[in-house]
Amino acid sequence: MQVVIVPTAEQVGRVAAAKVAKVVRDKADAVLGVATGSSPLAIYAELERRATAGELDFSAVRAFALDEYVGIDYAHEQSYHAVIRREVTERLGLNPALVHVPDGAASDIARACADYERMIREAGGVDIQILGIGANGHIGFNEPTSSFASRTRIKTLAPRTRADNARFFDDDLDQVPTHCLTQGLATILDAHRLVLVATGAGKADAVAAMVEGPLSSMCPGSALQLHPDATVVVDEDAAARLQLADYYRHTYAHLPAWQRYED
Ligand code: F6R
């Protein structure tokens, strides 16, 4: 795992976006794995800037979202269908027909999940998966004790996750859905590259457990330790509990120029 520590949240977005940009430059119809939440917004802002400047073209890029709530109308502005359309599809100029989000409104949930896995497979897999991490260590909505072998399925949101996400629902916990569909940990690990971003002191424990803790379903993010091409980009606050922070800084400062993400 490569850990990159930079001073600001904006730089976190820039470094992670550079890794995504390289994939899109090399493959016009790249398959992006996209996340919602606050963390990836700086990545999308930087990718939008590059697209507007004519440096990147997303018109043939395909995308698969990590997750979607169950029991929410897709017209609701906080449904992940709506969030992905607003923050990713429209900002980057993706073709909406090539952007997929799990169908949390499906009448046959098991079939919807199996179909989602099949679509990812038929697309040739995800070339680069963008991830955030929950304060409890979840990635996607794989809450603590999720199996490392899990695939797209329905999950019950942890109380901590619902409380954290109440900020998107007028701080009203009752409005926060109780269930979701999420790609599994094995689905995420199948992506060819992973880039996870985290900022702020509230993520410091989760980041330390993910990067330096034991491989454990109690911290689903620790699954990244199993991936051969995983990059974790954090700001100083989110890095505060990393024991080897100086080593990561040293390593990044001494990377050969061609391996650096900032360009
Ligand atoms: C979002 C997702 C979640 C979030 C995580 C962090 O699609 O799958 O794992 O990445 O909850 O959310 P923020 O970035 O809002 O702190």
What parts of the chain have a pLDDT lower than 50? Answer: none
Tell me phi and psi for residue 88, to 5 degrees: -115, -65
Q: Choose among 89, 79, 84, 39: nearest CA to 59.
A: 89
Whole-structure pTM value: 0.97
- Output the pLDDT for position 262: 62
User: Which residue ranges have their beta carbon within 6 Å of ligand 1?
Assistant: 35-39, 66-67, 132-134, 138-141
Tell me phi and psi for residue 209, to 5 degrees: -65, -40
What residues contact residue 2 under an 8 Å CB cut-off, 6+ apart? 230, 231, 232, 251, 252
- Output the pLDDT for position 261: 66
Query: End-to-end CA distance of the chain, in Å?
Result: 21
> From CA 236, how far away is CA 6, in angstroms rounded?
6
Residue 170: burial class (beta carbons within 10 Å; 0-12, 13-18, 19+): exposed
Per annotation, catalytic residue among 87, 143, 164, 235: 143
Cα-to-centroid distance, 143 and ligand 1 (Å): 11
* Cβ count within 10 A of residue 8: 13
What residues contact residue 30 under an 8 Å CB cut-off, 6+ apart? 23, 24, 61, 62, 127, 128
* 67 annotated active-site: yes
Nearest residue (by CA) to ligand 1, atom 8, is 140
Nearest residue (by CA) to ligand 1, atom 12, is 37
Per annotation, catalytic residue among 67, 117, 164, 190: 67
- Cβ atoms of residues 102 and 65 within 8 Å: yes
The ligand 1 atom at the shortest distance from the C-alpha of residue 198 is 14
- Output the pLDDT for position 222: 98
Residue with tokens 């800037």: 49
* 138 annotated active-site: yes
Residue 254: burial class (beta carbons within 10 Å; 0-12, 13-18, 19+): exposed
pLDDT tens by residue, 7-57? 999 999 999 999 999 999 999 999 999 999 999 999 999 999 999 999 999
Beta bridge partners, 234, equal: 5, 198
